[in-house]
Structure 1
Amino acid sequence: MEIEVQKEPQTYAPLGPSGLGGWLVLVQIGLIATLFQVAFQLLNYNLPSFGREYWDILASPQGEMYHPLWAPLIVFEAAANVLLLVLTVFTLVLLYRKKAFLPRVIILLYSANLLIGIIDYILIMNIPVASELEDGSSLRDLIRAALTCALWVAYFRKSERVRNTFIR
């Protein structure tokens, strides 16, 4: 009579770099900074824009600075920041749990941020008062988002550390 002994599967240490070190430290700092920046923007700019004072001036046809794109811009920016906030929190959870799904989600986050920046810039440039007041910061933000997206998407697709770290 043979007794079958079940062995636990062996786990091997990955060859090459792994863990949340290296360039992933910058990703972590960036995600945490994004979390605070988007929350700040939402609380201090987006939500107050729905108040009667701002809404009546910008989005009401009787308002002093009325333009038909103000209402869609205000709603879009608020919804986009809520989406970015939720996606950033989700990304941080996946990052610290070292989930294999993280690279796809973080690529989605960076791509969504870029797409939101493009749409926001187009809307702003089509509102005469907003485009006149635009000091170049929107274009700088858009360029920064494009460079960030290009850099980190390439990193998360090619990095050996990413392949070795996000395996759960």
Structure 2
Amino acid sequence: MLEVQQDPRQEPFQESMREYRPLGVSGLGGWLILIQIGLWFTLVMLLAQISQSVLPILNTETWEILTSKDSAYYHPLWGPVIIFEAIYNILFLLFTVYVIVAFYRKKAILPRLMIIFYSLSLTVVIVDSLLLSQIPMARELADGSSIRDIARSAIACAIWIPYFIKSERVQNTFVR
């Protein structure tokens, strides 16, 4: 029997020319479309929150009214709560941009980033609600939105964290 030998120098070249194709579903379709919409929505909402709420409070007399001991609206937690929200919103905006970039580059770290994204959102909503509930004026103005925000964030965690852990599409898509 005649055996044909292949040039060993061509083997690595031929293997590098093969494209990795995972078995099963992959790509940014399916339920990942909802994730994309959610990420872009989060980005827009954070930009709106920073420009319409955080920056005006930090740049106007509102800060003085809420944090000056001579003011009728003063409470010692107003300053820390406002600063906490400002820092969180700016850092979460940057984190969201990073997650979006990792998402479209199909980075292997993305499932972990999304778990952090959802967990952090829930944690901060709870902490913010607890802090605001300590301020009488904030309690009086509460309209139940903080409870809705906590519930919405908890539901998102309950759905999307297991999805990013178990999904075949996620495992096949985010491999780089």
TM-score, normalised on structure 1? 0.95
Once residues 146 and 102 of structure 2 are traced to their aligned partners in structure 1, the CA distance between those partners, rounded to angstroms, is 30
- Coordinate RMSD, CA, aligned: 1.3
Give 1:132's match in structure 2, choosing from 135, 140, 143. Answer: 140
Aligned length: 167
Deviation at 1:12, TM superposition (A): 4.2
Give matches, 1:60-75, under 5 Å.
60-75=68-83
- For structure 2, the 5+ residue unaligned runs are 1-5
- For structure 1, the 5+ residue unaligned runs are none
Once residues 102 and 6 of structure 1 are traced to their aligned partners in structure 2, the CA distance between those partners, rounded to angstroms, is 35
Which has the larger Rg? 2
Once residues 51 and 3 of structure 1 are traced to their aligned partners in structure 2, the CA distance between those partners, rounded to angstroms, is 71
Deviation at 1:132, TM superposition (A): 1.0
Deviation at 1:5, TM superposition (A): 2.3
> Helix, strand or coil: the match of 1:50?
helix
Q: What does residue 54 of structure 1 align with?
A: 62
Deviation at 1:149, TM superposition (A): 1.6
Give 1:25's match in structure 2, choosing from 21, 33, 52. Answer: 33
Q: What does residue 5 of structure 1 align with?
A: 9
Amino acid of the structure 1 residue aligned with 2:175:
I
Please give the per-residue CA displacement for 1:25-80, whole angstroms capped at 9, x wherever unaligned.
00000000000001100111011111241011111111220000000110011111
The answer on 1:144 being equivalent to 2:140 is: no
The answer on 1:39 being equivalent to 2:43 is: no
Runs of 4+ in 1 over 4 A off after TM superposition: none
Give 2:165's match in structure 1, choosing from 150, 157, 168. Answer: 157
TM-score, normalised on structure 2? 0.91
